[in-house]
Amino acid sequence: MREAYHVELKQLADRLAEMSVQVATAMERATEALLEANLALAEQVISDDAKIDDLRAECEEQAYALLALQAPVATDLRTVLAAIHAAESVERMGDLALHVAKTARRRHPECALPEPVRPYFAEMGELGVKLALRTQEIIKSQDVEAARALEADDDHVDDIHRHLFSVIMDKDWAYGVAAAVDVTLLGRFYERYADHAVSVAKRMIFVATGKMPGYGADEDV
Amino acid sequence: MREAYHVELKQLADRLAEMSVQVATAMERATEALLEANLALAEQVISDDAKIDDLRAECEEQAYALLALQAPVATDLRTVLAAIHAAESVERMGDLALHVAKTARRRHPECALPEPVRPYFAEMGELGVKLALRTQEIIKSQDVEAARALEADDDHVDDIHRHLFSVIMDKDWAYGVAAAVDVTLLGRFYERYADHAVSVAKRMIFVATGKMPGYGADEDV
Segment B130-158, tens digit of pLDDT: 999 999 999 999 899 999 999 888 999 99
CB-CB under 8 Å, A184 with B181: yes
What's the pLDDT at B214? 63
Report if residue A13 sits inside a domain: yes
Report if residue B216 sits inside a domain: no
Residue B113 vs residue A4, higher pLDDT: B113
Q: How many angstroms separate the CA of residue A76 from the nearest CA in chain B?
A: 10
What's the pLDDT at A221? 46
Instruction: Reply yes or no: is the peptide bond before residue B116 cis, omega within 30 of 0.
Output: no
Q: Does A202 touch chain B (CB under 8 A)?
A: no
Q: What is the average per-residue pLDDT within B175-191?
A: 97
Q: How many CB pairs under 8 A join A and B?
A: 89
Report if residue B102 sits inside a domain: yes
Q: Residue B86: which domain range?
A: 2-209
Q: Does A167 touch chain B (CB under 8 A)?
A: no
CB-CB under 8 Å, A180 with B185: no
Q: What is the average per-residue pLDDT within A92-118?
A: 97
Give the closest of B95, B181, B218 to A218, CB-based: B95
Report if residue A71 sits inside a domain: yes
Q: Does B172 touch chain A (CB under 8 A)?
A: no
What's the pLDDT at B207? 87
Query: Is the pLDDT confidence value at A4 over 90?
Result: no
Q: pLDDT grade, residue A128 (50/70/90)?
A: very high
Residues 6+ apart with CB under 8 A from B65: B8
Segment A28-77, tens digit of pLDDT: 999 999 999 999 999 999 999 999 999 999 999 999 999 999 999 999 99
Report if residue A218 sits inside a domain: no
Q: What is the average per-residue pLDDT within B96-116?
A: 97
Report if residue B220 sits inside a domain: no
Q: pLDDT grade, residue A151 (50/70/90)?
A: confident
Report if residue A105 sits inside a domain: yes
With residue A4 as reference, give the H or E element that holds it. helix A2-36
Pick from A209, A220, A90, A128: nearest CA to A165 = A220
Q: What is the ipTM, given to two decimal places?
A: 0.94
- String of DSSP letters for A116-181: GGHHHHHHHHHHHHHHHHHHHHHHHH--HHHHHHHHHHHHHHHHHHHHHHHHHTSTT--SHHHHHH
Query: Is the pLDDT confidence value at B212 over 90?
Result: no
Report if residue A221 sits inside a domain: no
Give the closest of B68, B78, B221 to A185, CB-based: B221
What's the pLDDT at B221? 46
By C-alpha distance, the chain B residue nearest A97 is B217
**Percent over 90 (pLDDT), chain B:** 86
The C-alpha atoms of residue B168 and residue B185 are separated, in whole angstroms, by 12
Domain count, chain A: 1
Q: How many angstroms separate the CA of residue B84 from the nearest CA in chain A?
A: 9
The C-alpha atoms of residue B221 and residue B204 are separated, in whole angstroms, by 26
Question: Helix A176-209 vs helix A118-141: angle between axes, to the nearest 10 degrees?
Answer: 20
CB-CB under 8 Å, B68 with A67: no
Q: A residues 2-61 near B, CB within 8 Å?
A: 49, 53, 56-57
Segment B39-51, tens digit of pLDDT: 999 999 999 999 9
Domain containing B32 — which CATH number? Answer: 1.20.58.220
Whats the size of chain A, residue-wise?
Answer: 221
What's the pLDDT at B181? 96
Question: What is the SS3 string spanning chain B?
Answer: CHHHHHHHHHHHHHHHHHHHHHHHHHHHHHHHHHHHCCHHHHHHHHHHHHHHHHHHHHHHHHHHHHHHHHCCCHHHHHHHHHHHHHHHHHHHHHHHHHHHHHHHHHHCCCCCCCHHHHHHHHHHHHHHHHHHHHHHHHHHHCCHHHHHHHHHHHHHHHHHHHHHHHHHHCCCCCCHHHHHHHHHHHHHHHHHHHHHHHHHHHHHHHHHHCCCCCCCCCCCC
